[in-house]
Amino acid sequence: MPEAANPEHAARLKAQANWIRLSAMTMTNHAQLGHTGGDLSSADILATLYLGGILRVDPQQPRWPQRDRFILSKGHCSGAFYSALALKGFFPRDQLKTFMDPLSMLNGHPDRNKLPGVEANTGPLGHGLPISVGAALGARMRGETWRVFVLTGDGELQEGSNWEAAMTAQHYGLENLVVIVDRNRIQQGDFTEKTLKMEPLADRWRAFGFAVVEADGHDCKALRDRLSRVPFEAGKPSCLIANTVKGKGVSFAENQPAWHHGVPTREHLAAAASELGVEVDW
Ligand SMILES: Cc1ncc(C[n+]2csc(CCOP(=O)(O)OP(=O)(O)O)c2C)c(N)n1
Ligand SMILES: [Mg+2]
């Protein structure tokens, strides 16, 4: 049976995604700062990439030249990203408890000079895709076979720099580039469609020359299935629109704009642990 179809494997991936969720919330409680809603919406995507066998990376050799590059363009969701990196083995899990402490490797936004596994410093929205296009073009020019995966927010796509980068990706036919959009429909403060309309989002990416597929961003099996077949179309960059729920998995945070950077209390953490069915062991 292929691994993606194995129910045991799918259940393990879901549990790992839920661990990433609770770990990120615990970090935010520790720092009294963080981005709960977007951490929770992206957990299944990150689990699938790192623990579902999509990214060709080696935590023992974080700068292995042939590795796939992953860039978290929505760098504010560092809590989920660091938890996925720790679970993959890039650094000891107990480092997670230093989130945002003075001199910690775990800044509020990822720093490639501090933390193994981080490829680019992100946080200012709209930079991850331009960096990824440059990396993918660089790989192509050197005849390398590694791919670049970049995770953007949906509100983030309101930054014009993304569309300049998308035009460039089309121009060069960067089939080694995969954009994943965390389409949780909420940005900072409100719903995207109330703030600045994003739809028809898939058609917009198509018009910019991308091969586009959509998937339930909480269905690890569906995500694995799509992401294990890139490029989606020969000669084109790929875009996966992952339809997600901001705050996914924790009922009080689901679909609530206020939980964009809501900070959980200890009571919230206990309720989340019971809903997610996991414990944090660091
Ligand atoms: C250039 C820039 N402007 C503003 C911010 C502040 N900011 C942080 S997160 C965020 C909202 C992002 O929304 P979205 O891209 O939808 O992310 P998600 O819903 O996945 O958290 C904003 C405006 C920023 N980080 N960078
Ligand atoms: Mg969003």
Count CB neighbours of 259 within 10 A.
23
Q: Which of 81, 156, 194 to mutate to test the pocket of ligand 1 (most atoms within 8 A of CB)?
A: 156
Does ligand 1 have an atom closer than 6 angstroms to the CB of 248? no
Residue nearest to atom 8 of ligand 1 (CA): 76
Cα(63) to ligand 1 centroid in Å equals 28
| Sign of the dihedral through C-alpha 110, 113, 116, 117 | positive
Task: Quote the ligand 2 centre to 144 CA distance (angstroms).
Answer: 33
Amino acid at 149: F
Q: Where are the domains of the chain?
A: 3-276
Any idea which ligand is nearest the CA of 40?
1
pTM beyond 0.95, yes or no: yes
CB atoms within 10 A of CB 61: 11
Which CATH superfamily, name and number, covers 3-276?
A: Thiamin diphosphate (ThDP)-binding fold, Pyr/PP domains (3.40.50.970)
Contact 21, 269 (CB under 8 A): no
Which ligand lies nearest the alpha carbon of 125? 1
Judge if the beta carbon of residue 21 lies within 6 A of ligand 1.
no
Distances 231 to 7, 175, 226, 240 between C-alpha atoms, Å: 26, 6, 10, 11
Beta 177-183 vs 148-153: how paired, if at all?
A: parallel
Conformation bin of residue 123: beta by default, left when phi > 0, alpha when psi is -120 to 50: left
> Going residue by residue through the chain (282 aa), what tens digit of pLDDT does each one get?
455 557 788 899 999 999 999 999 999 999 999 999 999 999 999 999 999 999 999 999 999 999 999 999 999 999 999 999 999 999 999 999 999 999 999 999 999 999 999 999 999 999 999 999 999 999 999 999 999 999 999 999 999 999 999 999 999 999 999 999 999 999 999 999 999 999 999 999 999 999 999 999 999 999 999 999 999 999 999 999 999 999 999 999 999 999 999 999 999 999 999 999 999 989
Is the CB–ligand 1 distance for residue 74 below 6 Å? Answer: yes
Distance (Å) from CA 27 to ligand 1 centroid: 19
